[in-house]
Amino acid sequence: MNIGLIGSGGREHTLCRKIYESKLSSNIYCFPGNAGTSKIAKNIEIDILNFKKLLKLIKFYKIKLVIVGPEEPLVKGLVNFLKRNNIKVFGPNKFAARLEGSKAFMKKLCQENNIPTAKFKICSNQKDVNKFLQKSKMPIVVKADGLAAGKGVTICKTKKKVIEISNQIFKGKFISSKKLVLEEFLEGEEASYFLIVDKNNFKFFGTAQDHKRVGQNDRGPNTGGMGAYSPAPIINKIIENKIINKIVKPTLFALKKRNNPYTGFLYVGLMIKNNEPYLIEYNVRMGDPECQVILPRLKTDIIKIILSSIKNNLKNIRIKWKKEKCMTIVLCSKGYPGRYKKGIEIKNLNKIKFDKNIFIFHAGTKFKNFKFFSNGGRVLNISSLGWNFLTIRKKIVSSINKLNWKAGFFRKDIGWRIIGH
Protein backbone atom coordinates (compact mmCIF):
# COMPACT_ATOMS: atom_id res chain seq x y z
CA MET A 1 0.00 0.00 0.00
CA ASN A 2 1.13 3.59 -0.62
CA ILE A 3 2.07 5.35 2.60
CA GLY A 4 2.32 9.03 3.47
CA LEU A 5 4.65 10.24 6.22
CA ILE A 6 4.38 13.74 7.66
CA GLY A 7 7.53 15.47 8.96
CA SER A 8 11.17 16.09 8.14
CA GLY A 9 13.34 15.25 11.16
CA GLY A 10 15.52 12.38 12.30
CA ARG A 11 12.43 10.72 13.72
CA GLU A 12 10.79 10.72 10.31
CA HIS A 13 13.84 9.33 8.48
CA THR A 14 13.91 6.51 11.07
CA LEU A 15 10.20 5.83 10.60
CA CYS A 16 10.66 6.01 6.83
CA ARG A 17 13.41 3.38 6.96
CA LYS A 18 11.17 1.02 8.93
CA ILE A 19 8.23 1.64 6.61
CA TYR A 20 10.55 0.95 3.66
CA GLU A 21 11.53 -2.39 5.24
CA SER A 22 7.87 -3.37 5.76
CA LYS A 23 6.38 -6.09 3.56
CA LEU A 24 3.16 -4.09 3.43
CA SER A 25 4.45 -0.83 1.99
CA SER A 26 4.82 0.05 -1.67
CA ASN A 27 5.52 3.71 -2.48
CA ILE A 28 6.33 6.08 0.39
CA TYR A 29 5.63 9.82 0.18
CA CYS A 30 7.27 12.17 2.68
CA PHE A 31 5.74 15.56 3.37
CA PRO A 32 8.30 17.17 3.14
CA GLY A 33 11.05 14.71 4.26
CA ASN A 34 14.81 15.35 4.14
CA ALA A 35 17.85 14.21 2.16
CA GLY A 36 17.77 10.84 3.90
CA THR A 37 14.14 10.08 3.08
CA SER A 38 14.68 11.21 -0.53
CA LYS A 39 16.77 8.07 -1.10
CA ILE A 40 13.96 5.65 -0.21
CA ALA A 41 10.80 7.70 -0.68
CA LYS A 42 9.44 10.56 -2.72
CA ASN A 43 9.78 13.90 -0.93
CA ILE A 44 7.03 16.42 -1.52
CA GLU A 45 7.75 20.03 -0.59
CA ILE A 46 4.73 21.38 1.30
CA ASP A 47 3.67 23.37 4.37
CA ILE A 48 2.38 20.50 6.52
CA LEU A 49 -0.15 22.81 8.17
CA ASN A 50 -1.84 23.37 4.82
CA PHE A 51 -4.29 20.49 5.39
CA LYS A 52 -6.32 21.04 2.21
CA LYS A 53 -3.26 20.84 -0.01
CA LEU A 54 -2.08 17.76 1.87
CA LEU A 55 -5.43 16.07 1.27
CA LYS A 56 -5.25 16.79 -2.46
CA LEU A 57 -1.79 15.23 -2.70
CA ILE A 58 -2.78 12.23 -0.58
CA LYS A 59 -5.63 11.56 -3.01
CA PHE A 60 -3.47 12.23 -6.06
CA TYR A 61 -0.82 9.73 -4.98
CA LYS A 62 -3.43 7.15 -3.86
CA ILE A 63 -2.01 7.07 -0.34
CA LYS A 64 -3.85 4.52 1.78
CA LEU A 65 -2.29 5.24 5.17
CA VAL A 66 -0.93 8.48 6.66
CA ILE A 67 1.49 8.47 9.60
CA VAL A 68 2.01 11.78 11.40
CA GLY A 69 5.48 12.35 12.92
CA PRO A 70 5.50 15.79 14.64
CA GLU A 71 3.18 17.32 17.21
CA GLU A 72 2.06 20.53 15.53
CA PRO A 73 -0.24 19.03 12.86
CA LEU A 74 -1.66 16.65 15.51
CA VAL A 75 -2.41 19.47 17.95
CA LYS A 76 -3.97 21.47 15.10
CA GLY A 77 -6.33 18.64 14.18
CA LEU A 78 -4.84 16.94 11.12
CA VAL A 79 -6.16 13.54 12.22
CA ASN A 80 -9.73 14.84 12.56
CA PHE A 81 -9.48 16.53 9.17
CA LEU A 82 -8.16 13.47 7.33
CA LYS A 83 -10.63 11.11 9.01
CA ARG A 84 -13.52 13.38 8.02
CA ASN A 85 -12.25 12.95 4.47
CA ASN A 86 -12.09 9.16 4.76
CA ILE A 87 -8.30 8.89 4.86
CA LYS A 88 -6.78 6.23 7.11
CA VAL A 89 -4.47 8.05 9.53
CA PHE A 90 -2.38 7.12 12.55
CA GLY A 91 -2.12 9.56 15.47
CA PRO A 92 -4.29 11.14 18.19
CA ASN A 93 -7.19 13.45 17.42
CA LYS A 94 -7.17 17.15 18.30
CA PHE A 95 -8.74 16.69 21.74
CA ALA A 96 -6.39 13.89 22.84
CA ALA A 97 -3.39 15.77 21.42
CA ARG A 98 -4.01 18.43 24.06
CA LEU A 99 -2.01 16.17 26.36
CA GLU A 100 0.97 17.81 24.65
CA GLY A 101 -0.71 20.89 23.18
CA SER A 102 -1.74 22.36 26.53
CA LYS A 103 0.29 21.95 29.71
CA ALA A 104 -2.69 23.36 31.66
CA PHE A 105 -4.98 20.64 30.23
CA MET A 106 -2.45 17.94 31.06
CA LYS A 107 -1.88 19.15 34.63
CA LYS A 108 -5.62 19.46 35.33
CA LEU A 109 -6.12 15.93 34.06
CA CYS A 110 -3.40 14.77 36.47
CA GLN A 111 -5.00 16.58 39.37
CA GLU A 112 -8.47 15.19 38.67
CA ASN A 113 -7.13 11.64 38.43
CA ASN A 114 -4.50 11.59 41.17
CA ILE A 115 -1.65 11.10 38.73
CA PRO A 116 1.72 11.75 40.39
CA THR A 117 3.24 14.96 39.00
CA ALA A 118 4.94 18.13 40.29
CA LYS A 119 2.74 20.49 42.37
CA PHE A 120 1.59 23.31 40.14
CA LYS A 121 -0.59 26.34 39.50
CA ILE A 122 -2.14 27.42 36.22
CA CYS A 123 -1.67 31.20 35.93
CA SER A 124 -3.37 33.77 33.73
CA ASN A 125 -1.94 36.88 35.40
CA GLN A 126 0.76 38.14 37.74
CA LYS A 127 -1.55 37.86 40.77
CA ASP A 128 -1.76 34.09 40.25
CA VAL A 129 2.03 33.95 39.96
CA ASN A 130 2.51 35.86 43.23
CA LYS A 131 0.18 33.48 45.07
CA PHE A 132 2.24 30.45 44.00
CA LEU A 133 5.52 32.23 44.78
CA GLN A 134 4.40 32.93 48.34
CA LYS A 135 4.03 29.29 49.23
CA SER A 136 6.73 27.62 47.12
CA LYS A 137 10.46 27.04 47.43
CA MET A 138 12.92 27.79 44.63
CA PRO A 139 13.75 26.63 42.01
CA ILE A 140 10.44 26.95 40.19
CA VAL A 141 9.75 25.77 36.67
CA VAL A 142 7.83 28.15 34.39
CA LYS A 143 6.07 26.50 31.47
CA ALA A 144 4.26 28.18 28.61
CA ASP A 145 0.85 26.52 28.27
CA GLY A 146 0.87 25.91 24.50
CA LEU A 147 3.31 24.48 21.96
CA ALA A 148 6.60 26.36 22.04
CA ALA A 149 8.96 24.31 19.84
CA GLY A 150 10.92 23.14 22.88
CA LYS A 151 11.50 26.71 24.12
CA GLY A 152 8.62 27.02 26.56
CA VAL A 153 10.21 25.69 29.77
CA THR A 154 12.49 27.72 32.06
CA ILE A 155 13.91 26.53 35.35
CA CYS A 156 14.14 29.63 37.56
CA LYS A 157 16.41 29.96 40.58
CA THR A 158 15.04 33.34 41.73
CA LYS A 159 11.59 34.88 42.16
CA LYS A 160 12.71 37.78 39.97
CA LYS A 161 13.36 35.37 37.10
CA VAL A 162 9.93 33.72 37.56
CA ILE A 163 8.26 37.13 37.31
CA GLU A 164 10.33 38.15 34.29
CA ILE A 165 9.62 34.94 32.32
CA SER A 166 5.93 34.96 33.32
CA ASN A 167 5.55 38.52 32.09
CA GLN A 168 6.99 37.59 28.71
CA ILE A 169 4.47 34.78 28.37
CA PHE A 170 1.50 36.91 29.49
CA LYS A 171 2.54 39.51 26.90
CA GLY A 172 2.25 36.86 24.16
CA LYS A 173 5.81 35.59 23.62
CA PHE A 174 4.27 32.33 22.44
CA ILE A 175 1.43 32.67 19.96
CA SER A 176 -0.13 29.37 21.05
CA SER A 177 -1.29 30.61 24.50
CA LYS A 178 -0.89 33.45 27.02
CA LYS A 179 -1.39 31.16 30.01
CA LEU A 180 1.38 29.40 31.89
CA VAL A 181 1.97 26.69 34.44
CA LEU A 182 4.23 27.16 37.47
CA GLU A 183 5.63 23.97 38.90
CA GLU A 184 7.76 22.81 41.76
CA PHE A 185 11.16 21.53 40.64
CA LEU A 186 11.47 17.74 40.73
CA GLU A 187 14.81 16.17 41.60
CA GLY A 188 15.67 12.77 40.19
CA GLU A 189 16.59 11.02 36.97
CA GLU A 190 14.64 11.57 33.75
CA ALA A 191 13.50 8.71 31.54
CA SER A 192 10.92 8.22 28.80
CA TYR A 193 8.44 5.42 28.39
CA PHE A 194 6.71 4.81 25.05
CA LEU A 195 3.44 3.16 24.12
CA ILE A 196 1.37 2.49 21.07
CA VAL A 197 -2.29 2.97 21.87
CA ASP A 198 -5.66 2.08 20.30
CA LYS A 199 -9.19 2.69 21.54
CA ASN A 200 -9.20 -0.42 23.69
CA ASN A 201 -5.61 -1.32 24.46
CA PHE A 202 -2.01 -0.27 24.55
CA LYS A 203 1.30 -2.01 24.03
CA PHE A 204 4.80 -1.22 25.30
CA PHE A 205 6.87 0.58 22.66
CA GLY A 206 10.27 0.97 24.31
CA THR A 207 12.10 3.09 26.87
CA ALA A 208 14.86 5.65 26.38
CA GLN A 209 16.82 8.41 28.03
CA ASP A 210 17.92 11.49 26.17
CA HIS A 211 20.27 14.40 26.81
CA LYS A 212 18.55 17.74 26.28
CA ARG A 213 21.34 20.16 27.21
CA VAL A 214 23.69 21.25 24.46
CA GLY A 215 26.99 20.83 26.32
CA GLN A 216 29.07 18.07 27.87
CA ASN A 217 28.07 17.23 31.48
CA ASP A 218 24.50 18.33 30.73
CA ARG A 219 25.44 22.02 30.76
CA GLY A 220 24.17 24.91 28.67
CA PRO A 221 20.81 25.65 27.08
CA ASN A 222 18.15 23.08 26.28
CA THR A 223 17.92 21.61 22.79
CA GLY A 224 15.57 19.20 21.04
CA GLY A 225 17.92 16.42 22.19
CA MET A 226 21.65 15.81 21.63
CA GLY A 227 21.59 12.03 21.90
CA ALA A 228 19.75 9.12 23.48
CA TYR A 229 19.97 5.47 24.38
CA SER A 230 17.54 2.59 24.74
CA PRO A 231 16.57 0.77 26.88
CA ALA A 232 16.58 3.08 29.91
CA PRO A 233 18.24 1.02 32.64
CA ILE A 234 16.48 3.00 35.39
CA ILE A 235 13.04 1.65 34.37
CA ASN A 236 12.79 -1.75 36.05
CA LYS A 237 9.69 -3.97 36.28
CA ILE A 238 8.53 -2.41 39.57
CA ILE A 239 8.78 1.14 38.21
CA GLU A 240 7.16 0.05 34.95
CA ASN A 241 4.13 -1.30 36.82
CA LYS A 242 3.82 2.00 38.66
CA ILE A 243 4.04 3.95 35.38
CA ILE A 244 1.26 1.82 33.90
CA ASN A 245 -1.04 1.78 36.92
CA LYS A 246 -0.53 5.26 38.38
CA ILE A 247 0.01 7.28 35.19
CA VAL A 248 -0.89 5.60 31.88
CA LYS A 249 -4.14 3.81 32.76
CA PRO A 250 -5.78 6.75 34.59
CA THR A 251 -4.86 9.05 31.67
CA LEU A 252 -6.24 6.78 28.97
CA PHE A 253 -9.38 6.14 31.03
CA ALA A 254 -9.93 9.88 31.57
CA LEU A 255 -9.75 10.57 27.82
CA LYS A 256 -12.09 7.69 27.07
CA LYS A 257 -14.60 9.06 29.58
CA ARG A 258 -14.56 12.31 27.65
CA ASN A 259 -15.40 10.37 24.47
CA ASN A 260 -12.00 11.04 22.95
CA PRO A 261 -9.99 7.85 23.44
CA TYR A 262 -6.29 8.23 22.76
CA THR A 263 -4.80 6.57 19.66
CA GLY A 264 -1.24 6.72 18.31
CA PHE A 265 2.22 6.74 19.84
CA LEU A 266 2.34 8.11 23.37
CA TYR A 267 5.53 9.43 24.94
CA VAL A 268 5.48 9.51 28.74
CA GLY A 269 8.20 11.86 30.03
CA LEU A 270 9.09 10.97 33.62
CA MET A 271 11.19 11.96 36.58
CA ILE A 272 12.13 8.98 38.73
CA LYS A 273 12.88 9.66 42.35
CA ASN A 274 13.33 6.99 45.04
CA ASN A 275 11.83 4.41 42.68
CA GLU A 276 8.68 6.51 42.20
CA PRO A 277 7.74 7.84 38.73
CA TYR A 278 6.39 11.40 38.38
CA LEU A 279 4.91 12.60 35.12
CA ILE A 280 6.80 15.60 33.69
CA GLU A 281 5.11 15.75 30.33
CA TYR A 282 3.23 13.86 27.68
CA ASN A 283 4.16 14.01 24.02
CA VAL A 284 1.62 12.73 21.54
CA ARG A 285 4.19 11.26 19.13
CA MET A 286 7.50 9.44 19.12
CA GLY A 287 10.44 11.33 20.60
CA ASP A 288 13.24 12.77 18.53
CA PRO A 289 16.01 11.47 18.97
CA GLU A 290 14.39 8.66 21.05
CA CYS A 291 12.81 7.20 17.91
CA GLN A 292 16.31 6.79 16.46
CA VAL A 293 17.21 4.37 19.28
CA ILE A 294 13.89 2.58 19.70
CA LEU A 295 13.04 1.67 16.11
CA PRO A 296 16.39 0.01 15.32
CA ARG A 297 15.49 -2.42 18.14
CA LEU A 298 12.06 -3.25 16.73
CA LYS A 299 11.70 -6.66 15.06
CA THR A 300 8.00 -6.68 14.14
CA ASP A 301 6.79 -5.05 10.90
CA ILE A 302 5.90 -1.45 11.81
CA ILE A 303 3.05 -1.17 9.31
CA LYS A 304 1.51 -4.37 10.67
CA ILE A 305 1.61 -2.82 14.16
CA ILE A 306 0.17 0.52 13.04
CA LEU A 307 -2.62 -1.14 11.05
CA SER A 308 -3.54 -3.29 14.04
CA SER A 309 -3.74 -0.12 16.15
CA ILE A 310 -5.99 1.56 13.56
CA LYS A 311 -8.25 -1.52 13.62
CA ASN A 312 -8.27 -1.37 17.46
CA ASN A 313 -6.73 -4.80 17.46
CA LEU A 314 -3.46 -4.18 19.31
CA LYS A 315 -4.50 -6.78 21.86
CA ASN A 316 -3.81 -9.52 19.33
CA ILE A 317 -0.41 -8.47 18.09
CA ARG A 318 2.90 -9.51 19.61
CA ILE A 319 5.50 -6.79 19.26
CA LYS A 320 8.99 -8.27 19.28
CA TRP A 321 12.19 -6.44 20.21
CA LYS A 322 15.88 -7.14 19.73
CA LYS A 323 17.78 -7.70 22.95
CA GLU A 324 20.60 -5.46 21.74
CA LYS A 325 20.95 -1.91 23.01
CA CYS A 326 20.98 1.18 20.87
CA MET A 327 22.49 4.64 21.15
CA THR A 328 22.37 7.72 18.94
CA ILE A 329 24.50 10.85 18.90
CA VAL A 330 23.26 13.97 17.15
CA LEU A 331 25.65 15.88 14.92
CA CYS A 332 24.62 19.56 15.04
CA SER A 333 25.50 22.73 13.18
CA LYS A 334 27.97 24.89 15.14
CA GLY A 335 25.98 27.56 17.00
CA TYR A 336 22.87 25.41 17.66
CA PRO A 337 20.56 25.94 19.59
CA GLY A 338 21.42 29.59 18.91
CA ARG A 339 22.20 30.98 15.47
CA TYR A 340 23.86 28.71 12.96
CA LYS A 341 24.57 28.58 9.22
CA LYS A 342 22.61 26.41 6.81
CA GLY A 343 23.56 25.08 3.40
CA ILE A 344 27.03 23.78 4.25
CA GLU A 345 28.08 20.73 2.26
CA ILE A 346 28.65 17.46 4.14
CA LYS A 347 31.32 16.20 1.81
CA ASN A 348 32.24 12.82 3.19
CA LEU A 349 28.74 11.47 3.66
CA ASN A 350 28.79 9.68 0.32
CA LYS A 351 32.45 8.80 0.34
CA ILE A 352 33.21 6.93 3.52
CA LYS A 353 32.11 3.42 4.28
CA PHE A 354 30.53 3.04 7.69
CA ASP A 355 30.40 -0.17 9.72
CA LYS A 356 27.26 -2.13 8.76
CA ASN A 357 25.95 -1.64 12.27
CA ILE A 358 25.99 2.16 11.95
CA PHE A 359 22.73 3.81 10.89
CA ILE A 360 22.81 7.39 9.69
CA PHE A 361 19.44 9.04 10.15
CA HIS A 362 19.17 12.43 8.54
CA ALA A 363 17.45 15.38 10.25
CA GLY A 364 18.29 18.88 8.93
CA THR A 365 19.70 17.89 5.53
CA LYS A 366 18.99 18.63 1.89
CA PHE A 367 20.11 16.82 -1.27
CA LYS A 368 20.91 19.13 -4.18
CA ASN A 369 22.96 18.62 -7.35
CA PHE A 370 23.98 15.16 -6.09
CA LYS A 371 25.44 16.62 -2.89
CA PHE A 372 24.35 16.66 0.77
CA PHE A 373 23.93 20.00 2.55
CA SER A 374 23.03 20.95 6.12
CA ASN A 375 19.58 22.46 6.45
CA GLY A 376 18.95 22.80 10.20
CA GLY A 377 20.38 22.79 13.73
CA ARG A 378 20.29 19.06 14.28
CA VAL A 379 21.76 17.63 11.10
CA LEU A 380 22.47 13.90 11.41
CA ASN A 381 21.78 11.16 13.95
CA ILE A 382 24.39 8.45 14.09
CA SER A 383 22.88 5.35 15.73
CA SER A 384 24.31 1.95 16.43
CA LEU A 385 23.19 -1.33 17.99
CA GLY A 386 25.31 -3.52 20.25
CA TRP A 387 25.55 -5.32 23.56
CA ASN A 388 27.45 -2.71 25.51
CA PHE A 389 26.78 1.04 25.59
CA LEU A 390 30.44 1.97 25.96
CA THR A 391 31.46 0.00 22.87
CA ILE A 392 28.51 1.42 20.93
CA ARG A 393 29.44 4.97 21.88
CA LYS A 394 33.06 4.46 20.83
CA LYS A 395 31.93 3.14 17.47
CA ILE A 396 29.61 6.13 16.91
CA VAL A 397 32.22 8.69 17.94
CA SER A 398 34.79 7.15 15.63
CA SER A 399 32.28 7.21 12.76
CA ILE A 400 31.55 10.90 13.36
CA ASN A 401 35.28 11.60 13.46
CA LYS A 402 35.65 9.79 10.16
CA LEU A 403 32.89 11.92 8.68
CA ASN A 404 34.93 14.93 9.78
CA TRP A 405 32.31 17.60 9.10
CA LYS A 406 34.05 20.79 10.13
CA ALA A 407 30.86 22.84 10.49
CA GLY A 408 29.43 20.48 13.11
CA PHE A 409 29.75 19.53 16.78
CA PHE A 410 28.42 16.76 19.01
CA ARG A 411 28.44 15.53 22.60
CA LYS A 412 30.89 12.77 23.40
CA ASP A 413 29.35 11.90 26.76
CA ILE A 414 25.93 10.53 25.79
CA GLY A 415 24.98 7.90 28.37
CA TRP A 416 27.37 9.30 31.02
CA ARG A 417 25.07 8.27 33.85
CA ILE A 418 25.60 4.61 33.04
CA ILE A 419 28.99 4.49 31.35
CA GLY A 420 30.75 7.62 32.55
CA HIS A 421 32.26 10.36 30.44
Q: Give min distance, CB of 138 to ligand GLY, in A.
A: 25
Closest CA to 330 of 389, 399, 382: 382
Q: Note whether 287 binds ligand GLY by CB under 6 A.
A: yes
Among 12, 198, 281, 288, binds ligand AMP (CB under 6 A): 281
Size of the site for ligand AMP (CB under 6 A): 11
The partner residues of 204 in beta bridges, in order of sequence, read: 195
CB crowding 112-149: b at 16 or more within 10 Å, else e:
eeebbbbebbbbeeeebbeebbeebeebbbbbbbbbbe
Task: Give the angle subtended at the CA of 30 by the CAs of 28 and 36, to the nearest 5°.
Answer: 95
- Minimum CB separation from ligand AMP for residue 143, in Å? 6
100 binding ligand GLY? (CB under 6 A)? no
Contact with ligand AMP (CB under 6 A) among 66, 141, 332, 358: 141
Does residue 64 bind ligand AMP (CB under 6 A)? no
> What residues pair up with 345 in beta bridges, in sequence order?
373
Site string for ligand AMP, 111-130 (x = CB under 6 A): -------x------------
Q: How far is the CB of 79 from ligand AMP (least distance, A)?
A: 22
287 touches which of ligand AMP, ligand GLY, none (CB within 5 to 8 A by kind)?
ligand GLY
Q: Residue 72 interacts with ligand GLY (CB under 6 A)? A: no
Nearest distance, CB of residue 285 and ligand AMP, angstroms: 13
- What minimum distance in Å lies between the beta carbon of 316 and ligand GLY? 29
**Minimal distance in Å, beta carbon 268 to ligand AMP?**
11
Q: Is 269 in the site for ligand AMP (CB under 6 A)?
A: yes
Name residues contacting ligand GLY, limited to 222-281 (CB under 6 A): 224-225
Closest of 330, 363, 168, 197 to residue 265, by C-alpha? 197
Given a contact cutoff of 8 angstroms between Cβ atoms, the answer to whether 209 and 192 are in contact is yes
* Helix residue ranges, H only, 243-334: 249-257, 291-294, 302-310
SS3 category, 229? strand
Site residues for ligand GLY, 146-165, by CB under 6 A, read none
Q: Which of 12, 72, 210, 301 forms a contact with ligand GLY (CB under 6 A)?
A: 210
Q: Are 34 and 17 in contact (CB under 8 A)?
A: no
Q: Which letter, b or e, does each residue of 217-235 get, where b requires 16 or more Cβ atoms within 10 Å of its Cβ?
A: eeeeeebbbbbbbbbbebb
Consecutive H or E run containing 158: none
Residue 403 has a CB neighbour count (10 Å cut-off) of 19
Provide, rounded to whole angstroms, the least separation between the CB of residue 136 and ligand GLY. 26
Selection from ligand AMP, ligand GLY, none that 183 binds (CB < 5 to 8 A by kind) is: ligand AMP
Positive or negative, the Cα torsion across 34, 40, 45, 49? negative
Residues making contact with ligand AMP (CB under 6 A): 118, 141, 153, 183, 185-186, 190, 212, 269, 280-281
Residues making contact with ligand GLY (CB under 6 A): 210, 224-225, 283, 287-288, 290
